[in-house]
Amino acid sequence: MATLKERLQSNPRLKQFILRLIFRSKPYSARVRWYVWLILIFPKYFKRGISWSARLDLVPFHRFKLGRYSRIEQGVVVNNGMGDVILHDEVHTGIGCVIIGPVTLHKHVGLSQYVRILGMHHGIDPDLPHHYQPSTKAPVILEEDAFVGTGTVIMGKKNGEPLVLGKYCRIGANSVVMSDIPPYSVAVGNPARVVRTWNFSSGKWEKA
């Protein structure tokens, strides 16, 4: 039997009908209707670890997972309209973060305040208003123990391949990340570039 996601992908009219039921009236609104929040989101997701002021714009045909001891702080926005949002165990998202799937945060990942992770891109057709531009998936993956500084923006790759921040990498505040960052490295700037790497032999951070 076909899954809901498969049925929606194969039936555009059904998909549009479901989207109108879930989201507010304007076709470009990403905020779910009040009854969807009250019936589907609040009972299932607002539990220990999620702030009452967090905004969860969640649809049933993509996954949202919050692992054990993970925390979603005040004012965080999570949207899985374009793809799955997976937060594994002991992930912390700081105040005011925005996470738009597809995004995967592995164990012990930390986001400081006001980090933006965008797993999608909008088109730039000059004949279309911005809210009618087509959207494409651009998956973002943060491996174990990665940490992202305040105000950083992480944007998925335009070619649709996953953008990966490696294990135990560190991203400086207010950076803009648009390409892979290797494990055990420190990256800063716009666009972010690696400035330090961990030398396992010496046990020290060294200039890249």
Q: Which CATH number characterizes residue 38's domain? A: 2.160.10.10
Distance of CA 99 to the CA centre of its chain: 3
Domain that holds residue 105: 33-207
Residue 42: inside a domain = yes
What span, in angstroms and rounded, lies between the C-alpha atoms of 30 and 182? 33
What span, in angstroms and rounded, lies between the C-alpha atoms of 155 and 139? 9
Nearest CA among 22, 131, 134, 130 for reference residue 80: 22
Nearest CA among 84, 50, 90, 43 for reference residue 65: 84
Nearest CA among 81, 79, 86 for reference residue 103: 86
Residue 3 scores a pLDDT above 80: no
Q: Cβ–Cβ contacts within 10 Å for residue 106, how many? A: 20
Q: What does the pLDDT read at residue 58?
A: 85
Residue 19 scores a pLDDT above 60: yes
Question: Average pLDDT, whole number, for the chain?
Answer: 87
Residue 18: inside a domain = no
Least confident of 42-46, 52-56, 94-98: 42-46
How many domains does one find in the chain?
1
Mean pLDDT, residues 29-54 taken together: 65
Q: Which is more confident, 9 or 100?
A: 100
Distance of CA 183 to the CA centre of its chain: 20
Q: What does the pLDDT read at residue 1?
A: 45
Residue 43 scores a pLDDT above 60: no
